[in-house]
Amino acid sequence: GGRDLGASLADWPLWYADWMDGQLVEKGRQDMRQLALRLASLFPALFSLENYGRLQLVTSSKHRCVDSGAAFLQGLWEHYHPGLPPPDVADMECGPPRINDKLMRFFDHCEKFLTEVEKNATALYHVEAFKTGPEMQTILKKVAATLQVPVNNLNADLIQVAFFTCSFDLAIKGVKSPWCDVFDIDDAKVLEYLNDLKQYWKRGYGYTINSRSSCTLFQDIFQHLDKAIEQKQRSQPVSSPVVLQFGHAETLLPLLSLMGYFKDKEPLTAYNYKEQMHRKFRSGHIVPYASNLIFVLYHCKNATTPKEEFRVQMLLNEKVLPLAHSQETASLYEDLKNHYRDLLQSCHTSDECELPKVNNTSDEL
């Protein structure tokens, strides 16, 4: 009953400390090492020992991205030298990851995004409205009854903290916290929607600038692919057969939105929770911990025309991501570039992220 739960909550240790904020936990390191091992097995030719020195690593300046890159390299080392302790990342022949926040934290460098979304109190209107809406009220009443506290002592933010406490223990330690017993499946769905709403309005389709700010990264990806193709056509070795970029969920969501993935017919709002039960935009499925998006370029030796020589396949979290426009599992590189030609030509983050200059010298009344 409620009393027992209250007692077990009181006894449950909260291990999460302030210093851990932004750090990569051991589970995260393990995730990265294992991802490296799986990718090396999936693409043995790309991750061959001779290519090891040609790996290109790019990362955001945040510790947990730098550490993710390092853990990934350690996983690769394990793949090549099972049982040998890996050297310091600085001593690996491909060198340590290069920091590039313009690419991996483009949202920090986009004035328009910072002003209109990040620092704009009204940008997340629907998130705030949903926090006080009927679905959340139901949860507040339920939890208040369970914990035997007045409902006025609770608010949506506290509920979210409890929910995250449950999910952190589950994801990081694999243990079910008594905080999980505070919620049932319906509560979890509502709290999932609350988080999706935030991601939608801040990183997804809510505002155009959210995804447009990722143009730099989008174009960078195609520059790498173009370069590899050009080298291949000249029968030169590909200088960077594998480019690994370590960023954030906030790096990946805008990019996937820019490319048209997980787009619902109707926007997610504070008022259409029921209608959005079967939405495509589920951030927990799109960008879970250690999420990854992979562009694989294939050279087809038996191609009859130059157009058919190069194909691309995309993997999201290691599963084939059918192309947004055709639902095909792979695309001729030409067709992919053609589909995204507007973005490749006219997506100029610098222009789009600039704010109109305010003219303060005018003296009109």
- Residue at 2 is within a domain: no
308 occurs within a structural domain: yes
Asked whether 197 and 268 are in contact (CB, 8 A), the reply is yes
For residue 135, tell me if it sits in a domain.
no
305 assigned to some structural domain: yes
Q: Is residue 286 part of a domain?
A: yes
Q: Which domain CATH number covers 246?
A: 3.40.50.1240
**Alpha carbon 206 to chain centroid distance?**
16
**Which letter does DSSP use for residue 215 in this model?**
H
Residue 258: give the domain boundaries: 26-111+205-352
User: With the C-alpha atoms ordered 9, 10, 11, 14, is the resulting torsion angle positive or negative?
Assistant: positive
Q: Model confidence over 323-362: pLDDT tens digits?
A: 988 999 999 999 999 999 999 998 888 889 999 876 655 5
Chain mean position to CA 335 = 26
Give Cα separations from 131 to 140, 159, 205 (angstroms).
10, 10, 20
Task: Determine the Cα–Cα distance for residues 139 and 144; give it in Å rounded to an integer.
Answer: 8
For residue 85, the 8-state DSSP code is P
Judge contact between 277 and 192, C-beta under 8 A.
no
* Coil/strand/helix, residue 315: strand
CA-angle at 82, arms to 67 and 319, nearest 5°: 60
- What's the confidence (pLDDT) of residue 350? 83
Asked whether residue 343 is assigned to any structural domain, the reply reads yes
Of 345, 276, 344, 280, the C-alpha closest to 316 is 280
Predicted local confidence at residue 332, as pLDDT? 97
Nearest Cα neighbor of 337 from 319, 353, 323, 320 is 323
Spatial distance between the Cα atoms of 214 and 233, rounded to a whole number of angstroms? 29
Q: Which residues pair with 332 in a beta bridge?
A: 311
Q: Is residue 313 part of a domain?
A: yes
- C-alpha to C-alpha distance for 112 and 120, rounded to whole angstroms: 11
Q: Which helix (H) or strand (E) holds 332?
A: strand 331-332
Taking each helix axis from N to C end, the angle separating 185-202 and 134-147, rounded to the nearest 10 degrees, works out to 130
Alpha-carbon gap, residue 174 to 185, rounded angstroms: 19
Pairing of strands 243-246, 98-99: unpaired
pLDDT of residue 65: 97
Sign of CA dihedral 15, 20, 22, 24: negative
- Report if pTM > 0.75: yes
| Domains held by the chain: number | 1
In the chain, which residues have pLDDT < 50? Answer: none
Let me know if residue 345 belongs to a domain: yes
